[in-house]
Structure 1
Amino acid sequence: MLGPTVDVAIGLVFTYLLFALLLSTVLEAAAGWFKLRAARLEQAFAQLIEHPEAVAEERNLVARWLSGLGHGSGTAKVDKAASTATLTPEEAEAATERASGDLGPSFELRHEDIYHHPLVGGGGSSRPSYVSAANFSSALLQALRAGASGQALAQVEESIDALPPGRLREALLTALNEAQGDWDKLKAGIERWYDGAMDRLSGQYKRYTQLITFILGLVLAVAFNVDTIRIVQRLYAEPTLRAAMVEQARKTVEAGAPEASKAGDLPAKAAAVEQARDDLLRNAPVGWTAPPTLTLAQLASVPGWLVTALAGMLGAPFWFDLLNKLINIRNAGPKPESGTDLAKGKGK
């Protein structure tokens, strides 16, 4: 029958909604505790600003550890070869020439020069989680002017010409050429480059956070025994449980879309995590009746935990919208045999 099937779907989606809220709340608390956004922004600055040799050195760090480099008298020579291994031919040639002194003096711009600028605010204990393109451009131009003498635009041109060959130098030269001597156009060009670069880095960060979200979701699914298969089985077998979850789901939809707490202080975030946990345990057929052990019966729940973790990645807004649609479908259909009067007066 359609009635019980829809009710089971409502109960399952409602469970996913509660689980996704718990997952997002825990992620928000973890981001605040470990300052993940601020750390990611500083890493993004390092990728944008560092010259090719520094970037290549970071790329090859793990490779050098695995191959046992870094020991013995020949380390410096081998490290230099490794540092140019992942560069473009032009960048590798420039790095070799610089090492032999053929290029003469160069202007090295480090990401700390921008990150610790007052307009960015990365100095001391303060670590920003967002920097506008306008502030970044102003900080970068001031750092470039510090490496040369003369008028402002001439200072910037001199510093850009002295930068080591690489993506940063090419991007700044492009902005400089397009500006054609106009300071405001140069600043606008740097802002466009910064926005585009941050969009690409944001994509990388999103893929990274998706992996973290899945791992954390799986941990929470196991910790609270949110087994999708077991939940469906119980909802089909227990009409009373099914009716209670449908009623609670209806009240949740009527109350409006719930959101994960974004409170700034850590105690508030911890309280939000506890509230989300209690909501899940109180309203859904989850949790452990006894301390978990590695028995064959419990290992059979692994597929259900995996499905729950994947469902949590879709986010609470997705599940709330789906829950709202299911509630509307249920209210538009015939009154179910459970004896509830949720659809009374709403049938077509």
Structure 2
Amino acid sequence: MFGSNVLEVVVSVIFVYILLSLLCSTINEQVIVRLLSLRAKVLEEGIVNMLRDPALVEQLYNHPLIKALSHDMSYSNLFGSQLSQPQTSSTSPSLAPVGPATIQKPSYIPADIFALALKDVLQQQREAGSPINVVIPVGVHVTFGQGNVDLEKDLVGIEAWFNSVMDRVSGWYKRRVQIFIFVLGLLIAVGLNIDTLSLITTVSHNETVRATLVSAAQGYTTQHDPNLSLLQSDISQIQPMVGWYSLPINFQDWLLKIIGLLTTTFAVSLGAPFWFDVLNKFVSFRSSGLAPSSSPDSSLLTLPSPLVMAKNDVPTTPMPQQEGV
């Protein structure tokens, strides 16, 4: 148990931030990102921006090497696609359409696979006498658009070009996810009525709640196993502090409430890894001088940013952060 009430309050608030951040990330990853196939869409946008030729991109996605990375859409993906696309008919869409509509475009493409597929498509265009309209950026060592050359020599250049584009695409993806996270954080903070100012007041005056949160926080830093069942169990610790039992009665109270809710939202948007590191330092500072324990695998705490493709990387989940979409 900590000797300082102030530190106990700080640790309690940080622990609540971690739980809310994990909840927000879980909802974002499992519902929003997967439901709307965000990674696949951002990846395709990046490739279109790279090649500046939608017809070529379509040919590329139809190449067997790229098609092999696609997969049948689950019911949730189908539902998400229907949500994100305007309906052109009043007839209710089928939950399991047949044909190409059941195939979801890949949410990751390794750089070496992309280079081989693009080389093959461009080779076919050249053999057919079709012009190659790809615009090569300055500084990219690719020569397939400059006469009759050996495209095999361009593979390394294509991979480097693709990886540089994916670095930018990864930034697009992260910014979109960050917007989703902020909106989700605001909805969670408002929906559960967890404003930081009231939270500080509660844990400052309620020794039982404070002791429970501090104990859970200490265990969290030493036995952390981020899974959904544990998250549900930990969130139950803050149940007495959530809910709208009364409304502010004047302008000043409303102002403080809004400030508190926005503070919680901003804190949640920083992410669980950030708050875990802060919590770990506070706990270790008051735990007999022990050095901070190592942080858990960040891939378990954060949404992967899966659009950076490194050669020879073998992803184990859709669009893993190869991390470096």
**TM-score interval, smaller chain:** 0.5 to 0.7
C-alpha contact (below 8 Å) 2:194/2:264 kept by paired residues: yes
RMSD of aligned alpha carbons: 3.1
Equivalent residue for 1:193, pick from 139, 147, 161: 161
Q: Provide the C-alpha distance between the structure 2 equivalents of 1:236 and 1:213, rounded to a whole number of angstroms.
A: 28
Equivalent residue for 2:132, pick from 160, 163, 166: 163
Q: Deviations over 1:30-77 (max 9, x none)?
A: 2122211112112222222233xx7xxxxxxxxxxxxxxxxxxxxxxx
Q: Deviations over 1:304-340 (max 9, x none)?
A: 111111111222122122212111222238xxxxxxx
Which 5+ residue runs of structure 1 have no aligned equivalent? 55-108, 150-154, 262-271, 334-348
TM-score (norm: length of structure 1):
0.64
The count of corresponding residues between Structure 1 and Structure 2 is 252
Letter in 1 for 2:34: G
Q: Provide the C-alpha distance between the structure 1 equivalents of 2:247 and 2:35, rounded to a whole number of angstroms.
A: 28
What residue is the counterpart of 1:87 in the other structure? none
C-alpha contact (below 8 Å) 2:196/2:261 kept by paired residues: yes
Q: Provide the C-alpha distance between the structure 1 equivalents of 2:145 and 2:126, rounded to a whole number of angstroms.
A: 21
* 1:275 shift after superposition: 6.5
What residue is the counterpart of 2:52 in the other structure? 50
C-alpha contact (below 8 Å) 1:214/1:309 kept by paired residues: yes
Which 5+ residue runs of structure 2 have no aligned equivalent? 72-99, 290-325
Q: Provide the C-alpha distance between the structure 2 equivalents of 1:291 and 1:184, rounded to a whole number of angstroms.
A: 70
Aligned-residue sequence identity (percent) comes to 31
More helix per residue: 1
Residues 256-275 of structure 1: pairs in structure 2 closer than 5 A: 256=224, 258-259=225-226, 261=227, 272=228
Q: Provide the C-alpha distance between the structure 2 equivalents of 1:175 and 1:187, rounded to a whole number of angstroms.
A: 8
* 1:119 shift after superposition: 1.0
What residue is the counterpart of 2:124 in the other structure? 146
Find out whether 1:287 has 2:255 as its counterpart. Answer: no
C-alpha contact (below 8 Å) 2:111/2:159 kept by paired residues: yes
C-alpha contact (below 8 Å) 2:11/2:214 kept by paired residues: yes
Letter in 2 for 1:327: V
Letter in 2 for 1:163: I
SS in 2 for 1:176: coil
C-alpha contact (below 8 Å) 1:15/1:284 kept by paired residues: no
What residue is the counterpart of 1:217 in the other structure? 185
What residue is the counterpart of 1:119 in the other structure? 65
C-alpha contact (below 8 Å) 2:17/2:264 kept by paired residues: yes
Q: Deviations over 1:154-204 (max 9, x none)?
A: x7xx75xx334xxx4224984117999554431111111011011112112
What residue is the counterpart of 1:253 in the other structure? 221
Cα–Cα, structure 1 residues 129 and 286, in superposed 2: closer, same or farther, change >3 Å?
Answer: farther
Higher-Rg member (1/2): 1
The answer to which of 181-190 and 292-301 deviates more is: 292-301
Q: Provide the C-alpha distance between the structure 2 equivalents of 1:289 and 1:225, rounded to a whole number of angstroms.
A: 6
Residues 14-163 of structure 1: pairs in structure 2 closer than 5 A: 14-29=15-30, 30-51=32-53, 109-121=55-67, 122=70, 124=100, 125-149=103-127, 162-163=131-132
* 1:291 shift after superposition: 8.2
